Amino acid sequence: MLTLFLLSLTGVLASALTAAIGFGGGVILVVVMLIFMPPIVALPMHGAVALVANSARLVLFRRHISWRLWWRFVLLLGPGTAAGLWLFQGLSEEAIKTLIGVFVLTTLLMRQNPFLRNYQFPEWSFLRFGFFLGVLAMTVGAIGILFSAFLIRDELNKEAMNGTLASFAAMGHLVKIVGFGLVGFPFTEHWPIFLVMAPAVILGTILGRWVHGHFSDRVFLVVFKTVLTLLALRLILWEGILQALWP
């Protein structure tokens, strides 16, 4: 009972953070779930809980979602997941997380270059982003950080960024659940975890949506970039290099 209480409390706080700034809670949630259960259980169940949280966020921000970017993103998501099941069987989780962190930091640093500051990825590039996320979906617990930096775009305000991130993340977790189901993970055996955590993340999402409404676009962007940078550094230094050197 104590474990379920701590997991549900983490679910409220993590989903509130994600709904407030667009991402970040998934990293916290998967870390806490890995404390109480082995990775072979934590990652699939995190996907199921995160699907509920992001679906709730999608509903709350539905009027602001950029569907132009969404359909391009999801088009190659399934094939990417199939490719990921084959490609990353021999690559360590530490190496993958380090690469993700470097990739995100590089994307953010590009915007500090005077020649690239106003560069925005063309809409067709979201086809590649969807495939890339699908490749990594089965290996990485929290996937919001993978594509957050790409949504810093002139035409998207803070609500549009948050809602579009929710739509991306929901689809990413959905294909991850399907993938784990295809390889035989027994979701029905772990229903108490889902039954307790699902209402918790819905409550957290509603609270986070209220907090989000009190940010200005400018403050939101500063917080967004700061948290994204810190999480990228954490992936590189703590979950990547240090875990590889001292497992």
Query: What is the extent of the structural domain holding 126?
Result: 2-245
CB 141 within 8 A of CB 89: no
Task: Please name the residues in contact with 113: beta carbons below 8 A apart, sequence gap of 6 or more.
Answer: none
Q: Which amino acid is at 238?
A: W
CB 80 within 8 A of CB 135: yes
* Residue 144: per-residue pLDDT: 65
List of the chain residues with pLDDT < 70: 87-97, 99-101, 103-104, 106-119, 137-147, 149, 239-247
Number of residues assigned to the chain: 247
For the four alpha carbons of 199, 205, 208 and 214, in that order, the dihedral sign comes to negative
CB 141 within 8 A of CB 200: no
Distance CA 138, CA 61 (A): 26
Provide the 10 A C-beta neighbour count for residue 136.
21
CB 47 within 8 A of CB 173: yes
Per the structure, the count of domains in the chain is 1
* Residue 51: per-residue pLDDT: 93
* Residue 128: per-residue pLDDT: 85
